[in-house]
């Protein structure tokens, strides 16, 4: 359990860095190009470690979970870049970070225990999401005439964030189940699926090369994402629920980074909702086992 917790927290720090660099990536390059090149960089970095391990091998179940992880990741990544392009990162990140709780629910549905404390914490998460959505909707309405201001969270953004969390949670769950395949190949193959998806979309739209000033952001974003995923998969093999919810603490990094680095100023009720999400996730991590 300690191994899963430490590796999950390492993934949280790395993914927190990926979160913060995904904002300029999406806003400069656009959501589709950002999703493509982040996936390319993440896959290429992981292949450097995977190829020396020999060809990928695993049981049929491992391949099924890898494909499920890749498909869910493609959906999650596309939604993520749409969300961060149009909403405040300090508030949307905690919403998306409910992915760890969703992964814990999937794990519980397949045999892991779910205590009363965890159930109450999940209820707290739902309440916090409602608070953030309502507060964001009011803020969006009050700023509807300000076309020059930064993007504000709205109820629609929160709903997209929840769907993104479900997709990422599926990635957490499925990749943690690939116990018969080398970790590096799990990450590389999972990341290769969105490469194919977004490459086809970019070719269809006749856009392929990102702006020069977005490349450094995409590079760091992809490397952090790949490294975080490797740490998570190793931790999930020790204890999937603990690793999943510990990794979701990238919400704290994203929320703090959005306020300190991006100058975002959330409302009081949004702060309450954000803290509730983070605390509830921490409680679930401490209770899952």
pLDDT in tens, 149-162: 344 446 677 788 88
Chunk the chain into consecutive blocks of 10 residues (it has 289) and report each block's average pLDDT, rounded to whole numbers.
Answer: 82 88 89 92 90 88 92 92 79 77 73 66 69 56 42 67 88 83 89 93 92 93 89 80 73 74 69 74 61
Residue 131: its pLDDT value, please?
67
The pTM score is 0.76
Residue 152: its pLDDT value, please?
45
Q: Which of 10, 33, 42, 12 is nearest to 221 (CA)?
A: 42
Between helices 155-176 and 183-205, what is the axis angle to 10°?
A: 140
Between helices 116-142 and 89-96, what is the axis angle to 10°?
A: 150
Enumerate residues 6+ apart whose C-beta is below 8 A from 164. 76, 79, 80, 83, 96, 99
| Percent of residues in the chain assigned helix, strand, coil, to nearest 5 | 80, 0, 20
Residue 213: its pLDDT value, please?
93
Residue 102: its pLDDT value, please?
78
Say how far residue 113 (Cα) sits from the centre of its chain: 24
* 142-197 pLDDT, tens digit each: 444 443 334 444 667 778 888 998 998 898 788 878 888 888 898 899 989 999 99
Residue 135: its pLDDT value, please?
59
Residue 260: its pLDDT value, please?
74
Count of CB atoms situated within 10 Å of the CB of 28: 18
Please report, for the chain, the start and end positions of each structural domain, with discontinuous segments joined by +. Answer: 2-287
């Amino acid at each position: 359990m300690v191994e899963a917790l430490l590796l999950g927290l390492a993934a949280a720090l790395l993914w927190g860095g990926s979160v913060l660099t995904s904002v300029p990536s999406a806003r400069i390059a656009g959501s589709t190009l950002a999703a493509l090149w982040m996936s390319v960089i993440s896959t290429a970095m992981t292949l450097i470690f995977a190829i020396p391990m020999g060809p990928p091998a695993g049981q049929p179940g491992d391949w099924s979970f890898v494909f499920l992880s890749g498909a869910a990741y493609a959906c999650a990544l596309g939604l993520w870049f749409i969300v961060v392009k149009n909403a405040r990162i300090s508030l949307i990140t905690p919403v998306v970070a409910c992915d760890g709780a969703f992964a814990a629910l999937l794990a519980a549905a397949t045999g892991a225990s779910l205590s009363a404390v965890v159930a109450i914490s999940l209820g707290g998460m739902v309440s916090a999401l409602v608070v953030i959505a309502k507060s964001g909707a009011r803020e969006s309405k009050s700023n509807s005439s300000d076309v020059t201001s930064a993007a504000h969270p709205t109820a629609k953004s929160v709903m997209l964030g929840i769907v993104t969390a479900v997709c990422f949670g599926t990635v957490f769950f499925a990749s943690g189940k690939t116990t018969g395949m080398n970790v590096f190949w799990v990450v590389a193959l999972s990341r290769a699926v969105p490469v194919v998806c977004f490459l086809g979309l970019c070719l269809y739209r006749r856009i392929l090369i990102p702006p020069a000033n977005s490349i450094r952001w995409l590079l760091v974003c992809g490397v952090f994402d790949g490294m975080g995923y490797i740490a998570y998969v190793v931790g999930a093999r020790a204890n999937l629920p603990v690793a999943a919810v510990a990794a979701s603490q990238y919400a704290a990094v994203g929320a703090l980074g959005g306020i300190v680095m991006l100058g975002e100023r959330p409302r009081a009720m949004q702060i309450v909702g954000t803290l509730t999400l983070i605390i509830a996730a921490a409680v679930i991590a401490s209770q899952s086992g």
